[in-house]
């Protein structure tokens, strides 16, 4: 992981890139703040490198179960008005968003 | 009613259930009294972010009618407070975030449905760190919850509102959620009982997800018996949650009521890594006193090792934030929640999320997105998952040597509001003793150990293997009886109290 | 310079389930917007997915039908990207452990049989649907969460024709396996295409483009034709192909570069914590393999063997398993397989084609068709009348005998009844009668027509000819 010990300028670029992926608008102040925070946190979490985990299986779930499934049976959903009740904008039964250019 | 006197004596959950059953009090009386207390003290403590007085009273009157008509359900008319990230049909669920300011859930979480069906009355929504991301309730968009023992200090987090309300007599019992200590740490800071059930014991359906593989709903109560009572309603398989386990639910109330008077035959492990540097002397002292009492009661006390404890916080913050970065992607202003309108969809997303989320939530989304992004996945996220395996194995080994583990809940007692909020890493490091249980999926409880020299509550944490809540509650109940009974919290500032070292 | 073409397909197939993949909402097509939604498929805060058992079974059945290796341990992952039709802004899909790996499908090409390899088949959820207005767009989430199986081929296809043939063959397998309804109009089967060209003999594949918006097999064919030509033109002029996603414009018949993304996709796949792994056993697979219906190739061979049909007939009939089922039911009843096949291939398939409907929607039953054919064979009705009865059967259903009776179509096969009509016709048309006797054989057809006309088509044409011939050859006219 040492190759990821980035200088703050590179890290600032990473913050911008990641914020874009996460769809969060960032001001220059945010970038400065988060670059500092992220730098410190990454420095801290890099201590995980001290451990040899090559032969260790990752844990994605704390529970050892599989095959939890439901039968293909219909269940009542939300009444139409409730489905749209929290919509910031709705018309003709649709959630309205700015025009999407595909 | 004067708001300057001591907290009115509100019954414990056990006592409330008994009094209602014996018709010594009506649900309406109980709820009215509760609402008065809330009205009195909530402006000081900010434990509730929403109180539905009229609906609660209407439900209470309806419950009284049901009871008069002979409904034998034990919970009919019992008021319960709900953390504001657990959905109740028709009620707000803001998660302490501006982005869900006007959101109302059109459905019940499974725990809400179970409580509703048992007859419980929902009084209001309890304050929390935004999307449960925090250890102090300071990241709530609605302001911090304050600690009843010193209102200048934090109530802990993220279930700070739940803990403060229970401790201050503003709730008979409350639900919280625990992803890395969010039930246990505020319970410890506020002097009440907080139980994090084993992963899979309680349905997560309707709990707004922070980190799905770590989140669990659990009770915050005055006593261990109350926690057992509440867990007996919450626990069990839910077909709506694939990760809720299809295993028998033991009789937790019996486990507590039939607890022996001593701890003979119980082996208690003290993990040496949890007593290393960084613990406040008063905290260490309180735990040691409890250990001595337990030994006196016949418990076999042994030292054990959980060698990877030191790495738990790093692993936790990578896993939790990675999951959170996906879980919180749905807040985009399309179907619900805040929208900052723009002519372009992408820009609308970015503005909405920048405006709707607070700093800590954004910080964690950035970290989590980074840990998952191309080129970093193996080095951060995958490695953290592997370390999670090591931490799980630590517990497996330790539980071969002992029945339960006893540790502090947090290295310190409640800190001052504002003291850590600008220093995220220090805040994260305070979770060192609570995150391992979430990573391993085991159950853990926080019970009051006593007060430190400043008069602030100290918590004791007991941990048991996955699904061993009955054992955990039974021993916790026995230990609870050995602890000094806490006085009522002053609900005031202790300006004279020094700041921690 | 000659060029080699490499085409790979990514086909999204809607599975034949009653409910969505992670919730109990129905998958019925055409419901009003946002009426088949719930907290789960709307991505409401707190909602959790629970996997539909049938979606897993159908995907594995597809894998078995296509000769894939089935992963005994499979899991789901989150694929992260933002789009308004994505309720959670991540799609639950399968990344590194799909249900099915490898396999393939043999197709017939003019150059002979070719085996097209599959890379994988995985299970995932569909997204919602965006509708576009002048100033805004609207989102309907009815389709969000519909179970999709994504079939990814290796880049083994070498022409638009082959891709088209492959899609038809794949569709047949999925229909026969009962895996999907494959209804293209309802978006049951959608296809993205990767295509590259390279100078013949070159080892490495050329730069590929990805084509989207291919709403029909015909569009796939046309788009590929266009894109192959475009890429070859570029290379021939010494220019390069840009790796990009291109959109098929069906009206103009061209592919167009899509708006370039601000950054490359970084989907940040990670294991879905809300779902647990799927584990299958060999016993389970054996059981499912046994349930697998007969597949098109096997069925074609059997139709030839059991019913003595020509290859061609077998191929036409098995293009749709429902048609093949219909054929077999009718053939067993009538004992005249080739005649049944003829009727289905001509009359029935023509009507289905005109109406764009399925044989299951026809009121005509296999028994009715068999009965009708039998009546023709027995000479109860003649061919034109039978065709008109069939038309009615396909429109309204019913029993052939009743229709024939009601419409009075029973063929006149009684010599005594025909003789007076023949007399009448000979009297009214002395010219043609004389022509026939003078050796003009064609005049007989005219006279038969006249008899048929006077019996309103009910006469048995063979018998009419016989009576006429006997009458014309035995006596001279009475006049």
Residue C100 at interface with chain A, using a CB cutoff of 8 Å = no
Q: Is residue B1 part of a domain?
A: no
Strand B79-83 relative to strand B121-126, pairing? parallel
Structural domain of B328? 310-385
Element (H, E) at C218: helix C217-236
Q: Which residue is closest to B107 within chain C, CA to CA?
A: C39
What residues are paired with B178 via a beta bridge? B216
C437 backbone φψ class: left, alpha, beta (φ>0; ψ -120 to 50): alpha
Residues of B serving a catalytic function are 83, 158, 182
B335 with A56: Cβ contact below 8 A: no
B225 and B352 together in one domain: no
Q: Is residue C129 part of a domain?
A: yes
C149 and C260 together in one domain: yes
What residues are paired with C147 via a beta bridge? C125
B381 with C270: Cβ contact below 8 A: yes
Residue C310 at interface with chain A, using a CB cutoff of 8 Å = no
Q: What is the CATH number of the domain that holds C464?
A: 1.10.10.410
How confident is the model over C95-113, as pLDDT tens digits?
A: 999 999 999 999 999 989 9
Q: Is residue B500 part of a domain?
A: no
B104 with A41: Cβ contact below 8 A: no
Token pair recorded at residue B150 = 């010193």
User: Using CA atoms, how far apart are residues C157 and C442, in angstroms rounded to an integer?
Assistant: 56
Sign for the pseudo-dihedral over CA of B150, B152, B157, B162 = positive
B321 and B464 together in one domain: no
pLDDT of residue C215: 87
As for how many domains chain C has, the answer is 3
- CB proximity under 8 Å: C 376-435 to A: none
User: Using CA atoms, how far apart are residues B181 and B193, in angstroms rounded to an integer?
Assistant: 13
Q: How confident is the model at residue B498 (pLDDT cuts 50, 70, 90)?
A: very low
C326 and C468 together in one domain: no
Residue C249 at interface with chain A, using a CB cutoff of 8 Å = no
Q: Is residue B206 part of a domain?
A: yes
B97 and B206 together in one domain: yes
Which residue of C132, C261, C262, C270 is the best one to mutate when testing the B interface, meaning the one whose CB has the most B CBs within 10 A?
A: C270
User: Using CA atoms, how far apart are residues B375 and C371, in angstroms rounded to an integer?
Assistant: 70
Prior bond to B158 cis, omega within 30?
Answer: yes
Q: How confident is the model at residue C461 (pLDDT cuts 50, 70, 90)?
A: confident
B326 and B348 together in one domain: yes
Please calculate the CA angle C77-C82-C88 and round it to the nearest 5 degrees: 55
B206 and B351 together in one domain: no
Determine the distance in angstroms separating the CA of C294 from the nearest CA of chain A, rounded to an integer.
24
C69 and C110 together in one domain: yes
Structural domain of C455? 415-474
Higher pLDDT, B280 or A6: B280
User: Using CA atoms, how far apart are residues B312 and B292, in angstroms rounded to an integer?
Assistant: 28
Question: Is the pLDDT score of C380 beyond 90?
Answer: no
Greatest alpha-carbon span in chain B: 71
Q: Is residue C479 part of a domain?
A: no
C391 and C423 together in one domain: no
Q: Which residues contact B105 (CB under 8 A, 6 or more apart)?
A: B87, B88, B89, B90, B91, B92, B93, B206, C44, C45, C46
* Residue C236: strand, helix, or coil: helix
Q: What are the extents of the domains in chain A?
A: 2-50
Contacts C37 to A, Cβ<8 Å = 77-78, 83
- CB proximity under 8 Å: C 131-150 to A: 131-133, 135-141
Residue B52 to residues B31, B35, B60, B123, C245, Cα–Cα distance (Å): 11, 9, 12, 6, 53
C346 and C420 together in one domain: no
B173 and B70 together in one domain: yes
Q: Is residue B488 part of a domain?
A: no
Of the three residues C389, C406, C423, the one that is the final residue of a domain is C406
Strand B404-408 relative to strand B267-271, pairing? parallel
Is C84 within 8 Å of C139 (Cβ atoms)? Answer: yes
pLDDT of residue A6: 59
Q: Is residue B319 part of a domain?
A: yes
Contacts A56 to B, Cβ<8 Å = 386-387, 389-390
Token pair recorded at residue B276 = 């290393």
Q: Which residue is closest to C39 within chain B, CA to CA?
A: B107
C114 and C222 together in one domain: yes
C84 with B336: Cβ contact below 8 A: no
Nearest to C88 among B322, B329, B374 (CB): B329
Averaged pLDDT for residues A10-24: 95
Contacts C44 to B, Cβ<8 Å = 105-107, 335-336
Nearest to C279 among A66, A77, A95 (CB): A66
B330 with C46: Cβ contact below 8 A: no
C157 and C271 together in one domain: yes
Q: Which residue, C94, C128, C100, A59, is CA-closest to B323?
A: A59
Q: What ipTM did this prediction achieve?
A: 0.96
Residue B239 at interface with chain C, using a CB cutoff of 8 Å = yes
Averaged pLDDT for residues C73-78: 98
Element (H, E) at C213: strand C209-214
Determine the distance in angstroms separating the CA of B98 from the nearest CA of chain A, rounded to an integer.
14
Contacts B345 to C, Cβ<8 Å = 84, 137
C440 and C469 together in one domain: yes
B352 and B476 together in one domain: no
C279 and C400 together in one domain: no
C371 and C435 together in one domain: no
Determine the distance in angstroms separating the CA of C278 from the nearest CA of chain B, rounded to an integer.
12
Q: How confident is the model at residue C473 (pLDDT cuts 50, 70, 90)?
A: confident
Q: Is residue B5 part of a domain?
A: no
C343 and C425 together in one domain: no
Q: Which residue is closest to C82 within chain B, CA to CA?
A: B329
* Residue B337: strand, helix, or coil: coil
User: Using CA atoms, how far apart are residues B368 and C299, in angstroms rounded to an integer?
Assistant: 53
Calculate the average pLDDT of chain C: 91
* Residue A87: strand, helix, or coil: coil
C272 and C345 together in one domain: no
Contacts 24+ apart (CB under 8 A), B33-39: B33/B8, B34/B10, B34/B79, B34/B123, B34/B170, B34/B171, B34/B172, B35/B123, B36/B1, B36/B8, B37/B7, B37/B8, B37/B10, B37/B168, B37/B169, B37/B170, B38/B123, B38/B124, B38/B165, B38/B170
User: Using CA atoms, how far apart are residues B362 and B358, in angstroms rounded to an integer?
Assistant: 6
Of the three residues C283, C310, C327, the one that is the final residue of a domain is C283
How confident is the model over B341-396, as pLDDT tens digits?
A: 999 999 999 999 999 999 999 999 999 999 999 999 999 999 999 999 999 999 99
Averaged pLDDT for residues C142-160: 97
Using CB atoms, list chains with 3+ pairs below 8 Å to chain A: B, C
Q: Which residue, B95, B88, B172, is CA-closest to B127?
A: B95
Is B84 within 8 Å of B95 (Cβ atoms)? Answer: yes
Q: Is residue C402 part of a domain?
A: yes
In this prediction, what percent of chain B has a pLDDT beyond 70?
97
Residue C283 at interface with chain B, using a CB cutoff of 8 Å = no
pLDDT of residue C89: 98
End-to-end CA distance of chain B: 39
- Phi first, then psi, for residue B156 (nearest 5°) are 85, 180
As for how many domains chain B has, the answer is 2
Question: Is the pLDDT score of C305 beyond 50?
Answer: yes
Is C340 within 8 Å of C373 (Cβ atoms)? Answer: yes
Q: How confident is the model at residue C469 (pLDDT cuts 50, 70, 90)?
A: confident
Averaged pLDDT for residues B38-62: 96
Q: How many residues does chain B have?
A: 501
Q: Is residue C305 part of a domain?
A: yes
User: Using CA atoms, how far apart are residues B439 and A62, in angstroms rounded to an integer?
Assistant: 7
**What DSSP state is assigned to residue B261?**
S
Determine the distance in angstroms separating the CA of B239 from the nearest CA of chain C, rounded to an integer.
8
Q: Which residue, C146, C149, C97, is CA-closest to C276?
A: C97
């Amino acid at each position: 992981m040492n190759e990821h010990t980035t200088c703050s300028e590179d890290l600032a670029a990473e913050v911008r890139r990641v914020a874009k992926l996460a769809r969060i608008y960032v001001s220059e102040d945010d970038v400065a703040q988060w670059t500092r925070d992220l730098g410190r946190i990454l420095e801290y979490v890099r201590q995980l490198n001290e451990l040899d985990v090559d032969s260790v299986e990752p844990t994605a779930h704390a529970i050892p179960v599989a095959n939890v499934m439901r039968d293909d049976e219909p269940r009542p959903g939300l009444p139409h008005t409730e489905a749209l009740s929290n919509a910031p904008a709705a018309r003709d039964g649709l959630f309205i968003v700015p025009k999407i250019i595909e | 009613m004067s708001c300057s006197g001591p907290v009115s004596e509100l019954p414990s959950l056990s006592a409330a259930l008994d009094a209602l059953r014996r018709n010594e009090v009506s649900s309406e009386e109980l709820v009215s009294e509760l609402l008065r207390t809330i009205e009195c003290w909530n402006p000081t403590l900010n434990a509730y972010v929403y109180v539905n007085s009229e609906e609660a009273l209407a439900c209470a009157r309806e419950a009284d009618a049901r009871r008069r008509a002979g409904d034998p359900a034990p919970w009919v008319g019992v008021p319960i407070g709900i953390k504001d990230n657990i959905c109740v049909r028709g009620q707000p669920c803001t998660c302490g975030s501006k982005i869900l300011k006007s959101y109302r859930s059109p459905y019940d979480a499974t725990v809400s449905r179970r409580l509703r069906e048992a007859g419980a009355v929902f009084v209001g929504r309890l304050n929390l760190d935004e999307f449960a991301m925090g250890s102090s309730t300071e990241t709530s968009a609605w302001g911090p919850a304050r600690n009843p023992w010193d209102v200048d200090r934090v109530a802990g987090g993220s279930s700070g509102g739940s803990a403060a309300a229970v401790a201050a007599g503003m709730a008979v019992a409350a639900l919280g959620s625990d992803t890395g200590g969010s039930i246990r740490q505020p319970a410890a800071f506020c002097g009440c009982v907080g139980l994090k059930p084993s992963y899979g014991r309680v349905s997560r359906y309707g709990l707004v997800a922070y980190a799905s593989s770590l989140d669990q709903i659990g009770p915050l109560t005055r006593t261990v018996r109350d926690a057992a009572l509440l867990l007996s309603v919450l626990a069990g398989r839910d077909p709506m949650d694939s990760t809720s386990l299809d295993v028998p639910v033991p009789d937790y109330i019996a486990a507590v009521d039939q607890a022996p008077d001593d701890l003979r035959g119980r082996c208690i492990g003290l993990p040496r890594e949890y007593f290393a540097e960084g613990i406040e002397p008063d905290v260490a002292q309180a735990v040691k006193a409890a250990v001595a009492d337990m030994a006196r009661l016949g418990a076999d006390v042994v030292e054990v090792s959980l060698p990877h404890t030191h790495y738990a916080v790093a692993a936790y913050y990578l896993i939790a934030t990675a999951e959170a970065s996906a879980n919180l992607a749905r807040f985009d202003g399309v179907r619900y929640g805040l929208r900052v309108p723009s002519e372009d969809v992408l820009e609308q997303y970015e503005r909405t999320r920048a405006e709707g989320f607070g700093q800590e939530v954004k910080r964690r989304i950035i970290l989590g997105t980074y840990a998952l992004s191309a080129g970093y996945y193996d080095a951060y996220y995958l490695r953290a998952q592997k370390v999670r395996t090591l931490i799980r194995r630590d517990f497996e080994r330790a539980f071969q040597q002992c029945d339960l583990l006893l540790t502090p809940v947090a290295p310190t007692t409640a800190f001052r509001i504002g003291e850590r909020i600008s220093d995220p890493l220090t805040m994260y490091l305070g979770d060192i003793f609570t995150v391992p249980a979430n990573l391993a999926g085991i159950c853990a409880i926080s019970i009051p150990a006593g007060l430190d020299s400043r008069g602030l509550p100290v918590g004791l944490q007991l941990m048991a293997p996955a699904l061993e809540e009955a054992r955990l509650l039974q021993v916790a109940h026995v230990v609870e009886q050995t602890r000094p009974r806490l006085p009522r919290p002053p609900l005031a500032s202790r300006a004279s109290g020094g700041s921690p070292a | 310079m000659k060029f080699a073409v490499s085409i790979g397909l990514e086909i999204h197939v809607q599975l034949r389930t009653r409910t969505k993949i992670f919730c109990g909402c129905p998958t019925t097509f055409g419901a009003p917007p946002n009426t088949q939604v719930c907290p789960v498929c709307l991505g409401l805060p707190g909602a959790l997915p629970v996997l539909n058992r049938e979606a897993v079974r159908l995907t594995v059945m597809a894998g078995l039908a296509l000769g894939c290796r089935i992963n005994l341990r499979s899991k789901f992952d989150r694929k992260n990207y933002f789009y308004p039709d994505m309720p959670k802004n991540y799609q639950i899909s399968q990344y590194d452990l799909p249900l099915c790996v490898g396999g393939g499908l043999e197709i017939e090409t003019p150059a002979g049989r070719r085996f097209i390899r599959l890379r994988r088949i995985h299970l995932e959820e569909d997204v919602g649907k965006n509708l576009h207005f002048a100033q805004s767009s609207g989102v309907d989430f009815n389709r969000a969460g519909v179970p999709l199986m994504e079939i990814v081929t290796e880049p083994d296809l070498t022409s638009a024709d082959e891709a088209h043939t492959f899609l038809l063959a794949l569709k047949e397998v999925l229909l026969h396996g009962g895996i999907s309804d494959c209804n293209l109009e309802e978006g049951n089967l959608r296809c993205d295409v990767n295509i590259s060209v390279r100078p013949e003999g070159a080892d490495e594949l050329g730069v590929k483009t990805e084509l989207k918006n291919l709403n029909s097999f015909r569009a796939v064919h046309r788009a590929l034709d266009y894109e192959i030509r475009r890429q070859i033109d570029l290379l021939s002029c010494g220019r390069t192909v840009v790796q990009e996603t291109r959109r098929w414009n069906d009206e103009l018949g061209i592919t167009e570069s899509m708006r370039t993304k601000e950054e490359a996709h970084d989907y940040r796949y990670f294991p879905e914590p809300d779902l647990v792994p799927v584990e299958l056993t060999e016993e389970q697979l054996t059981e499912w393999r046994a349930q697998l219906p007969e597949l098109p190739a096997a069925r074609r061979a059997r139709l030839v063997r059991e019913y003595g049909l020509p290859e061609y007939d077998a191929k036409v009939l098995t293009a749709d398993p429902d048609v093949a089922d219909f054929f077999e039911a009718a053939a067993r009843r009538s004992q005249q397989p080739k005649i049944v096949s003829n009727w289905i291939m001509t009359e029935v398939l023509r009507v289905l084609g005109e109406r764009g409907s399925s044989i299951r929607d026809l009121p005509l039953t296999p028994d009715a068709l068999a009965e009708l054919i039998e009546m023709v064979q027995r000479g109860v009705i003649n061919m034109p009348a039978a065709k008109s009865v069939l038309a009615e059967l396909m429109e309204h259903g019913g029993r052939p005998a009743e229709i024939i009776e009601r419409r009075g179509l029973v063929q006149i096969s009684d010599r005594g009844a025909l003789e007076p009509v023949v007399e009448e016709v000979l009297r009214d048309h002395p010219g043609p009668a004389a022509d026939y006797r003078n050796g003009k054989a064609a005049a007989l057809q005219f006279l038969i027509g006249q008899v048929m006309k006077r019996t309103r088509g009910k006469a048995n044409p063979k018998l009419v000819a016989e009576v006429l011939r006997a009458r014309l050859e035995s006596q001279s006219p009475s006049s």
